[in-house]
Structure 1
């Protein structure tokens, strides 16, 4: 079984879409909800465009699917929750699901793994450091706890919000 990490975000009907996204992930991976390892839920201003603040979190899942299958499943879940097929990169999202890590793979296709955003965005790194603090980045010689500790926390403001599930 592979260990995967998924970033979940929403800035459109955030509470509803986060809840529904988690339910859809559990269903897609045929897991009881309790087997999803969840970070805290964070609120963060939109990055790269003016828009409503996002809710973000990271989910850890053990799965049997290939990278290709997981990437496809995540896109289908996004679309089933109202994501526009033609949405621009920096725009509001009902649901945004990104595969961050798949075991220790380092690949560019069908998706970039490890995802570049891990070390660039606090809304990815902080929650990832919660669910996998001791896990080493597959390219960098540091674990996620240490990467978060050394991250410039003044560059992006995050706050933990009450969980909505």
Structure 2
């Protein structure tokens, strides 16, 4: 059964939306491997910080089916698609890796995701799957993160288990 590695993010009421998204992933797929949630600055626009994390699910679904389900999940959480690509989000969930597959030219579904080059995607994924190999470069996620320019940056960890708890804790790359 292939393992899908997902990137989740939100900068509008992120604790509520990310906690609810994880609950829905668990209800649909059972066990979900989840990284710590980190606070990252918005990329591509001026806006509130995002809270980002990674999750891994095992699924018999085809990547396209999973992608459609994730879009419906975003929609249930008020995701707007009538705004610029780089803008505030209630919930953003993307398939970053799907087993060792390489997929292109399927609408918005591209695996591996180009966003894997960003710390907000790579750091959480390297936390939960350091030995997972990039299907094109064959580098492990740990190797990619270790070479990343932001590797030594400290990112605040955000607790998702208590909606009122937004107190950051320091975490090192």
For normalisation by structure 2, the TM-score amounts to 0.87
The number of residue pairs the alignment matches comes to 159
Q: Does 1:59 align with 2:65?
A: no
Aligned pair 1:126/2:100, yes or no? no
The aligned residue for residue 160 of structure 1 is 156
Cα deviation for residue 163 of structure 1 reads: 2.2
What do residues 106-147 of structure 1 show as CA deviations (whole Å, max 9, x unaligned)?
Answer: 1113211011111x2001011110111011110013100011
* 3-state SS of 1:135 partner: coil
Q: Is 1:24 matched up with 2:20?
A: no
| Superposition deviation, residue 103 in structure 1 | 0.6
Partner of 1:41: 37
Once residues 28 and 47 of structure 2 are traced to their aligned partners in structure 1, the CA distance between those partners, rounded to angstroms, is 30
Alpha-carbon separation, structure 1, partners of 2:56 and 2:156? 18
Write out aligned runs for 1:93-132 (5 A): 93-110=89-106, 111-118=109-116, 120-132=117-129
Q: Per the alignment, do residues 131 and 144 of structure 1 end up closer, same or farther by CA in structure 2, a change over 3 Å counting?
A: same
| TM-score normalised by L of structure 1 | 0.91
Cα deviation for residue 54 of structure 1 reads 0.3
1:143 maps onto 2:150 in alignment: no
Whether the aligned pair in 1 keeps the contact of 2:39 and 2:158 (CA below 8 Å) is: no
In 1, the alpha carbon distance for the partners of 2:156 and 2:65 equals 31
Q: Is the 8 A contact 1:122 1:158 kept in 2?
A: no
CA shift, 1:61, in A, is 0.7
Paired position in structure 2 for 1:77: 73
Kept after mapping to 1: 8 A contact 2:35/2:53: yes
Q: Which runs of 5+ in 2 are unaligned?
A: 162-173
| Contact 1:40 1:160 (8 Å CA) reproduced | no
- Higher relative contact order, chain-length normalized (CA < 8 Å, sep 6+): 1
Listed as ranges, the gaps of 5+ residues in structure 1 are none
Q: CA deviation at 1:152?
A: 0.3
Shift of 1:84: 1.1
Could you say if the C-alpha distance between residues 104 and 134 of structure 1 is closer, same or farther in structure 2, counting changes exceeding 3 Å? same
Show CA shifts across 1:20-75 (max 9, x none).
1111222233x1xxx11011110001000010000000001111111110000000
* C-alpha RMSD of the superposition: 1.5
